[in-house]
Amino acid sequence: MHTSRVIGLFSLGLLVTLLAACGGGGGSGSTPPPSSITLTVEDPLGSFNAAAYQVGSGSWQALNMTGTTTKTASFSLNGQSKYGVAVRCSGLVVKVIQATASELPNPKLECSSSSSTPSTVAFTVNVSIDAGLLASGDRVCVNSTNCQSASNTVSIPLNLEAGTRDLLIALADSSNMVKVAKVVKGVNVSSGGSTNVSLAASDQLNPVSFTLPTPPSGYSSFPAAPIFYASASNTGGGGVNASPTSYRPVSGFGSGDRYVALLMASASSGELQSFQFFTGTPSLAFPAPWNAGSLGVNQTAHPSLSGLSRSDNDLRGYQIYLQLTAQLYYTAIIGKSWLGSATTYTLPDLSAPSLLGYTAPSSGSGTFEVTALLSNKPILAADNSALLSFAAGDYLRSARAFTSSYTVGGGNINLP
Interior/surface letters 355-364, b for 16+ CB within 10 angstroms, e for the rest: bbebebbeeb
Say if residue 7's pLDDT is above 50. no
**pLDDT range class, residue 242, cuts 50, 70, 90:** very high
The residues, ordered by sequence, that sit 6+ positions from 254 with a Cβ below 8 Å of its Cβ are 183, 185, 232
How far, in Å, CA of 156 to CA of 125, rounded? Answer: 5
Q: Note the pLDDT tens digit of each residue in 27-62.
A: 555 567 899 999 999 999 999 999 999 999 999 999
Q: Note the pLDDT tens digit of each residue in 176-202.
A: 999 999 999 999 999 999 999 999 999
Question: Contact, 374 vs 316, CB < 8 A?
Answer: yes
How far, in Å, CA of 376 to CA of 17, rounded? Answer: 19
Task: Report the C-alpha dihedral over residues 331, 334, 339, 344, rounded to 10 degrees.
Answer: 20
Question: Maximum Cα–Cα distance for the chain, whole Å?
Answer: 71
Say if residue 6's pLDDT is above 70. no
Question: Contact, 79 vs 58, CB < 8 A?
Answer: no
pLDDT of residue 388: 80
Q: Note the pLDDT tens digit of each residue in 132-168.
A: 999 999 999 999 999 999 999 999 999 999 999 999 9
Q: Note the pLDDT tens digit of each residue in 341-359.
A: 999 999 999 999 999 999 9
How far, in Å, CA of 158 to CA of 125, rounded? Answer: 8
Q: Note the pLDDT tens digit of each residue in 260-275.
A: 999 999 999 999 999 9
**pLDDT range class, residue 116, cuts 50, 70, 90:** confident
Quote the mean pLDDT of the chain. Answer: 92
**pLDDT range class, residue 8, cuts 50, 70, 90:** very low
More confident residue, 265 or 15: 265
pLDDT of residue 371: 97
Task: Report the C-alpha dihedral over residues 26, 400, 285, 175, rounded to 10 degrees.
Answer: -100
What mean pLDDT do residues 336-340 have? 97
DSSP state of 251: B
Least confident of 7-16, 113-122, 205-214, 238-247: 7-16
Say if residue 85's pLDDT is above 60. yes
Percentage of the chain exceeding pLDDT 70: 91
pLDDT of residue 26: 56
Say if residue 410's pLDDT is above 70. yes
pLDDT of residue 177: 98
What number of other Cβ atoms are within 10 A of residue 3's Cβ? Answer: 16
What mean pLDDT do residues 319-346 have? 98
How far, in Å, CA of 128 to CA of 196, rounded? Answer: 8
Q: Note the pLDDT tens digit of each residue in 370-400.
A: 999 999 998 875 455 667 889 999 999 999 9
Strands (E), 12-135: 36-42, 48-55, 61-62, 66-67, 70-76, 82-89, 93-100, 108-110, 121-129
Domain ranges of the chain: 3-21+118-278, 36-112+287-411
Distances (CA, A) of 147 to 71, 272, 380, 388: 40, 31, 36, 25
What mean pLDDT do residues 286-299 have? 98
pLDDT of residue 414: 98
Percentage of the chain exceeding pLDDT 90: 87
The residues, ordered by sequence, that sit 6+ positions from 339 with a Cβ below 8 Å of its Cβ are 308, 317, 318, 345
pLDDT of residue 379: 84
Residue 176, by phi and psi: left (phi above 0), alpha (psi -120 to 50) or beta?
left
Burial of 258 (0-12, 13-18, 19+ CB in 10 A): buried
For the chain, the C-alpha Rg in angstroms (whole number) is 23
